[in-house]
Amino acid sequence: MSDKRILFTGGGTAGHVIVNLAIIPVFQQEGWEIDYIGSKNGIEKELISQLDGVTYHPISTGKLRRYLSIENMKDPFKVIKGTLQAFRILGKRKPSVVFSKGGFVSVPVLVAAWLRRIPAVIHESDITPGLANKIAIPLAKKVLTTFPETMQYVPEEKSEWAGAVVRNQLFRGSKQKGLDITKLKPNDKPVLLIMGGSGGAQRINQAVREQLPNLLKEFQIIHLCGKGNVDESLRVEGYAQFDYVNQELSDIFAATDFVLSRAGSNAIFEFLALKKPMLLIPLPLSSSRGDQILNAKSFKKQGYANMLEEEQLTGDRLLEELKQLKQGKTEILNSMRNYESYQAKDSVVKIIKEVGK
């Protein structure tokens, strides 16, 4: 095996790719050869394909569902096929270590790595491990967590709290470029960034648009609606819509004063690192395992964010909560002041190298 080759995996949502995007450049700068295993059509392929010097390998994947579906009968065969594909890729590329950010695509890769006796490192973003990571943890040599609270849910002997990994480029944004991209004007109204994740959030979109005239009295708004969710009938001064942004994100963050968001771990730690006061509306239990609710409660407890549960979301309540966020800006920024993000990435990179020796 080469001691300068690493294979990354993770996908299904942008959150399962973002940490990889932050770490890959570090290994590139040190001369490592880099491979990535992901799904054939997932968002990870779109994001990783933009990186030079990374070889992307698509495999067959199933989906780990928590509900009854006819597709559940097909998925074991897809996972078996993906495991065989990953087994061949690992045998050919011979990485010294595998790093996984989770998501259903990672399961076949970690099974194959275990069969090949290639050590694997898993990074869990949420307070409680997701289903894919629960399956994969016994196969990994090291488990890293973002929240210290997660340590009670993972094997103590091979787990370590590392913290949240944040992309360096997010700190290099230009406020003026962000305003130019969004066609917003520098004025006395703060900029509110609304994000529902890479797929958008219909309930949030609906509430925002219901209260748009009143919200625009308080804020200028950048609305990342999710793919296919831009409302072309809403062309209003001070309101900029995008389905999804990638390269421009650092500039948009630089232009942002407040954030309204879901509570995916990677996103909220980026807002924290950038010192952006946030109102979090986590995915409800009816459509998730409750991980975002735990994330949001942790941030609220630490004073980093306000929280509104989706069951309580109406246009009027949203307007009220955002006004309160605006009024409480100083207190939230004071809570955020001592948080530093750079140490986590250095720690994760160091551990990956040690496992790969």
**Inter-CA distances, 144 with 69, 112, 118, 199, 233, Å:** 32, 20, 17, 26, 45
Considering the chain, what is the average pLDDT of its residues? 91
Q: What is the pLDDT of residues 104-149, one digit of tens each?
A: 899 999 999 999 999 999 999 889 998 888 999 999 999 999 998 9
CB atoms within 10 A of CB 204: 24
Tell me how many helices (H) and strands (E) the chain has. 14, 13
Residues in the chain: 357
pLDDT surpassing 90 at residue 214: yes
Mean pLDDT score, 14-30: 91
Q: With beta carbons less than 8 A apart as the criterion, state whether 48 and 38 touch.
A: yes
Spatial neighbors of 227 by CB under 8 A, at least 6 apart, are 198, 199, 200, 243, 244
Q: Which of 289, 267, 287, 293 is nearest to 278 (CA)?
A: 267
Matching fold, domains 5-165+342-355 and 169-336: yes
Name which of 32-36, 145-149, 252-256 the model is least confident about.
145-149
Topology of domain 5-165+342-355, CATH: Rossmann fold (3.40.50)
85-96 pLDDT, tens digit each: 999 999 999 999
pLDDT of residue 70: 60
Give me the pLDDT at residue 274, please: 95
Instruction: Read off the pLDDT of each residue in 229-253 and give the average, rounded to a whole number.
Output: 91
Q: Which residue ranges make up each domain of the chain?
A: 5-165+342-355, 169-336
Per the model's pLDDT, the better-predicted residue between 284 and 320 turns out to be 320
Look at residue 169 and tell me whether its pLDDT is greater than 50. Answer: yes
Predicted local confidence at residue 98, as pLDDT: 98
Level-2 CATH architecture, domain 169-336 = 3-Layer(aba) Sandwich (3.40)
Range from 71-80, 251-260, 286-295 carrying the lowest mean pLDDT: 71-80
Helix (H) or strand (E) holding 131: helix 131-136
Mean pLDDT of 62-75: 60
Global pTM exceeds 0.75: yes
For residue range 305-314, list pLDDT tens digits in order. Answer: 999 999 999 9
- What's residue 1's pLDDT? 44
- Please state, for a pLDDT cut of 70, what percent of the chain lies above it: 94
Higher-pLDDT residue of 63, 169: 169
pLDDT at residue 354 is higher than 60 = yes
- Identify the residue with better confidence: 176 or 345: 176
Read off the pLDDT of residues 175-196 as tens digits, 9 standing for 90 and up.
999 999 999 998 889 999 999 8
Q: What is the pLDDT of residue 71?
A: 61
pLDDT higher than 80, residue 75: no
> Nearest CA to 262 among 231, 224, 288, 296?
296
Q: Is 251 in contact with 174 (CB distance < 8 Å)?
A: yes
Taking the alpha carbons at both ends of the chain, their separation in whole angstroms is 10
